[in-house]
Structure 1
């Protein structure tokens, strides 16, 4: 075996020659291998960055709470010495999980908004209080940071974004410390899929940390219902292509950021978001949509991530595969960002007919209960 990472994995988990490892999907922050052993199949994940101190314990606590609330979470398994994460050669960490045969969920399918809203309600209802939130989730880079990228396939789209940036970042507000709970913070469609029995399975808890539930709700609504870039990324993840050139597609995507509020496709997306929010409230979710400030986490996270991926894509030292992936992420992020006009009108449309009062207390019988919906 010549791959140093897999050599380290075999040593750490005590695998012999009867164990086989095959490449699986990758994302911007990690890569998966499928592991076949006599005892069963597992997913070996290489997270490209080492998590900060305390995140592993916070993840274990939240996933235990989520499982008790009826949320499906793949089990994690220790290395031979008992560690749940193993340092990886070249950086990052290795984790071993149960392999679950999954299928993507169609955001446009009947019932998807309601199922997603109930899932979010379960996650937020069981989440413990959290401490201070990282600036990444409520502070954004200014326009000057995006002016450095010229002669790229996506430069013109960044120029259009720079024109809107003052209005977008003007909506950002610091979170209320009393509202912060431990949240997943990355609930895009690739991280919520259907298991063999149809139940929703939540994956990739690597970005877990403090968030206001309503801000994670808005972030999730836009990830699910306002962009079709997810389809292109999923094709690559599922092996349709291991190395793609996105130069032809990066320049002209259609998503939330390209659609006026009167566009029929965007109005349908708002209807889906409203249905998801209604199901969330009915299932006892604590967040309430009140205005543009609820978009803070969506905007700050996406803008910081966009700048990070732009730097990767523009770096001449970046490999072809990593550049192709970064360009996919740039495209998807630009599709996901709302426009200033959407910030003005969409919160009221998403929250229409829903009560402004907080959800029921944790012991109220109306709160989401464990079990399949």
Structure 2
């Protein structure tokens, strides 16, 4: 599940599918159009021996696996608004920094004209990446918390300061503002299968959202902002690989850390506090700068999940949305309602990690 505004899932190039990710046929994925294949062949200089098959997809994004001769690529078709040129440049800079810090990711590849983003026939946009055989990481694996903590520390240590979005705008409110109470009325009263569960969760929304607030601009660095289990995968040899950098932008490191802790170690009915402690301690040992000290550090977690939930409810209830988009939204609503943190869980995590754990301890 991605908390992105457009709902696109990871650009991961999975061979083994995660149970949380529907196979292409389940979400109505189609064959690549001849026009799309022809455009890609022309742009990237491929020969006639190109074979294109459907890979993972999200609400507004599709990955196509491309085989041409001995080479394999991941062609990402973007249905929504594409990343800006400034965003692409920021992504390339951040991934170079991250690679230098030992973080692995699929390489972003330009076309023959040097473009990293090109228009697709009939609308949409295309990006190309190196294909990497990836598989899901087991959150319950013994080494997972320590590996994740070390990975996030490396990302934060190499990140530059960043007080505005890549295009120069103010930090995206998606990460620090929750929807107004009235924004939920249509969805809660819709009669959809999930509407009653939504209404039940909304009863605790004021308590959950009480501490959500913008971060101090002076504390912001460039962050990935979407490091959930579908975007951190195991590559050949088992090392962690980070994918889907499309959401990068300014965030407080403590807030991204808090979000990652819950993304990985709270899948209902409550948080795995021992795993959270181990990930947090590994992050501190590896020199990560973030420290969870108060309720506001959960702002990014809460705001992004609530904003994502509202967007997906809108897609699910939109009679003009494509059936495949509505089906994907229904799945994401079900998952988000299950994973939406309870205020008690945040308090438990804060009691465990806040203040007294500023110095790393051995697991």
| Counterpart Cα distance in 1 of 2:124 and 2:251 | 24
1:175: which partner in 2?
A: 215
- Which among 321, 346, 350 is matched to residue 349 of structure 2? 346
| Counterpart Cα distance in 2 of 1:338 and 1:66 | 30
Q: Which stretch of the first structure deviates more once superposed, 93-102 or 279-288? A: 93-102
1:194: which partner in 2?
A: 234
Q: Which stretch of the first structure deviates more once superposed, 325-334 or 277-286? A: 325-334
**DSSP 3-state at the match of 1:46:** strand
- Which among 58, 72, 89 is matched to residue 57 of structure 1? 89
Is contact 2:116–2:127 with CA below 8 Å preserved after alignment?
yes
Tell whether 2:75 aligns with 1:44. yes
1:364: which partner in 2?
A: none
Tell whether 2:53 aligns with 1:22. yes
Tell whether 2:264 aligns with 1:224. yes
Displacement of 1:213 in angstroms is 0.7
How do 1:248-327 and structure 2 match up within 5 A? 255=268, 259=269, 266=270, 269-327=272-330
| TM-score normalised over the length of structure 1 | 0.82
**DSSP 3-state at the match of 1:54:** helix
Displacement of 1:11 in angstroms is 2.6
Is contact 2:47–2:68 with CA below 8 Å preserved after alignment?
no
Displacement of 1:326 in angstroms is 0.6
1:80: which partner in 2?
A: 112
Displacement of 1:162 in angstroms is 1.6
Unmatched 5+ stretches in structure 1 = 228-254, 260-265, 358-373
Tell whether 2:184 aligns with 1:146. yes
How do 1:85-124 and structure 2 match up within 5 A? 85-124=117-156
| Number of matched pairs | 320
Is contact 1:274–1:352 with CA below 8 Å preserved after alignment?
no
| TM-score normalised over the length of structure 2 | 0.84
| Counterpart Cα distance in 1 of 2:354 and 2:150 | 16
| Counterpart Cα distance in 2 of 1:90 and 1:215 | 39
| Counterpart Cα distance in 1 of 2:149 and 2:356 | 16
**DSSP 3-state at the match of 1:16:** coil
Unmatched 5+ stretches in structure 2 = 1-31, 165-170
Is contact 2:177–2:212 with CA below 8 Å preserved after alignment?
yes
| Counterpart Cα distance in 1 of 2:111 and 2:256 | 32
| Counterpart Cα distance in 2 of 1:210 and 1:92 | 26
1:5: which partner in 2?
A: 36
CA RMSD of aligned residues (A): 1.8
